[in-house]
Structure 1
Amino acid sequence: MATLNGSPASLAALQALALTNYGHFTTMRVEDGGVRGLALHLARLVGDCRAVFGAELDPEWVRECVRREVGGRAGAFMVRVTVFDPELDLTAPDRAGHPCVLVTTRPAPGAGRPLPALRVQRLVFHRDTPSVKHVALFGQLRLRRAARLAGYDDVLFVGSDGLVSEGCTWNVGFVDEAGTVVWPEADVLPGTTMRLLRTGRTGRDGQVTAPVTDGRLRSMRAAFATSTGIGVRSVAAVDDVLLRKDDPVVDALREAYAAVPLDRL
């Protein structure tokens, strides 16, 4: 079921979102009523609402809407909170200023089983307004489709300058030969999982942000993808560059993320 402002969403409201495709969202993994980095998800929604609609969003109202949809459901599953204006007029988007909260759920990926390491293809892409997690996903999904049709699991984006940025719906990190975690220096959507890992303890030598060129990528020993849905997932190959599937630094990051306390909804 989908709920809008805490009540069952009407077909008209869902059609409005589908046909205008203007809004923003966040996706959370709920585990027995708790979410890692809940405050970060709520802060993202509040900040993006100002950027997209010029309106204030009450984070406590968002939590209430999620609770109404989730109820007392146990186990792990994904919750997406989409903020959009059902009355948006395509001819006058400047009038959009009454955002509503749509809450939907879906199964959590990899529930009960580890996810295999990814093989990804680099393709050129630059995210529109990278600081906002907006609903316009055509560009990303078109290239994900192209990569999968070419035999890869997913796509890794690079800019026209050749710098690695991020994955289709995930952030990417690398591990150099010294065991240092290297986050790409580029315009990316700052994911909540990445932010939690960058501020938490990994038990390793440290983390840096630096440009990742083709030459630097080829010198890396490991890579990993991060998102709320998958946590930390190893990357086995980027194009023809083979990487370690099992690396102690990536294992430490995975364990560090799993140890992040759950915030109650």
Structure 2
Amino acid sequence: MDWFGETWRVTDYLELDGEPLDRVDPGLLRAISSGHFTSMQVRGGLVRGLPFHVERLDRSSVELFGHGVPAERWRSYVRSALERAGVADASVRITAFTRDRAKVDQGIAVAPELLVTVSAPIASTGRPLRLLAVEHERPVPHLKHTGSFSLSYYGRAAKLDGHDDALFYDRAGHVSEASIWNICFAQAGRIVWPEAAVLPGITMQVLQAGLAATGTPSETRPVPLDELATYDAAYLTNSIDPALPVAAITTPAGTTSYQPDPTSTAQIEKAYKAKPAQPI
């Protein structure tokens, strides 16, 4: 920048709560805001759905950076991080990003950098949730990207309105997913997944594979809001809660409540156990 005949170089200066941050790379902070990630619960050094994490990280990196991520690369990073942290049970997040945006924007393939975050393991929620249906379509939903502001925004708004979380539906009035969950429904011995633009969650894929392996009828089809009362039960699913019952869903037309359904609960639990965890 030229200012009064002199050339000034603008550099980043950061503070957090009034204290200088001199050990954080500003370029890193900017870079990780535009990338993708996968999260997992590790127990005893094992993780469920490992092949799906492998596929997600590689596929998403090819799409965003033109360069995939070999499975052994990120797995070795996670193993090292767990060892250095001295834990075998943890919540782990692998974020793929690049500080070389200029090349990516020119269509040049760049091997992404990988940030591994190890934090305390998260316990299951343990109680059925009450959901508030909100019309919202997540951008680029097939990618687990770092642009998650809308998810936390609508989740918080639902809680402030007296609910536990938000459930999304699209412009056609069809259920899609929840803030940090996929959702499925039970109907007459069959598990139904919403046909909509959603993130293909890892645990959702584990359950779908397990349902097929155990011979449990399942299908993917549109789930209109006005048909919620036709289902016997609903379940939220993610790496923390593979099958968390839904107590109620409130839509603009009213509230649908669900009672415990032992049949579908047993089906989903059996499907989940059919796909055991694997060493990271």
Q: TM-score w.r.t. structure 2 length?
A: 0.82
AA at the equivalent of 1:122: A
- CA–CA separation in structure 2 for the residues paired with 1:96 and 1:145: 38
List aligned pairs for 1:52-201, cutoff 5 A: 52-71=64-83, 73-74=86-87, 76-88=89-101, 93-94=105-106, 97-110=110-123, 115-176=126-187, 178-201=188-211
Could you list the runs of 5+ residues in structure 2 that have no partner in the other structure? 1-22
Displaced runs of 4+ in structure 1, greater than 6 A?
none
Kindly indicate whether the alpha-carbon contact (under 8 Å) linking 2:210 and 2:273 is maintained by their aligned counterparts in 1. no
How many percent identity over aligned positions?
A: 33
AA at the equivalent of 2:68: E
Q: Deviation at 1:255? A: 4.0
- CA–CA separation in structure 2 for the residues paired with 1:51 and 1:139: 22
Kindly indicate whether the alpha-carbon contact (under 8 Å) linking 2:32 and 2:96 is maintained by their aligned counterparts in 1. no
Could you list the runs of 5+ residues in structure 1 that have no partner in the other structure? 1-9
Kindly indicate whether the alpha-carbon contact (under 8 Å) linking 1:23 and 1:134 is maintained by their aligned counterparts in 2. yes
- The equivalent position to 2:41 in structure 1, one of 12, 26, 29, is 29
Q: TM-score w.r.t. structure 1 length?
A: 0.86
Q: Deviation at 1:252? A: 2.8
Q: 1:264 to 1:205 in 2, by over 3 A?
A: closer
Kindly indicate whether the alpha-carbon contact (under 8 Å) linking 2:68 and 2:111 is maintained by their aligned counterparts in 1. no
Kindly indicate whether the alpha-carbon contact (under 8 Å) linking 1:38 and 1:263 is maintained by their aligned counterparts in 2. yes
Matched, 1:243 2:258: yes
Q: Secondary structure at the match of 1:200?
A: helix
How big is each residue's C-alpha offset from its partner over 1:10-44, in whole Å with a ceiling of 9 and x where there is no partner?
A: 6216x633576100000011110111111110110
Q: Secondary structure at the match of 1:65?
A: helix
Q: 1:205 to 1:39 in 2, by over 3 A?
A: closer
Which of 233-242 and 66-75 deviates more?
66-75
Q: 1:234 to 1:26 in 2, by over 3 A?
A: same
How big is each residue's C-alpha offset from its partner over 1:186-234, in whole Å with a ceiling of 9 and x where there is no partner?
A: 0111111111111114757510111101222121110001111222111
- CA–CA separation in structure 2 for the residues paired with 1:224 and 1:141: 20
Q: 1:205 to 1:54 in 2, by over 3 A?
A: closer
- CA–CA separation in structure 2 for the residues paired with 1:28 and 1:118: 22
Q: Secondary structure at the match of 1:11?
A: coil
Q: Deviation at 1:151? A: 0.9
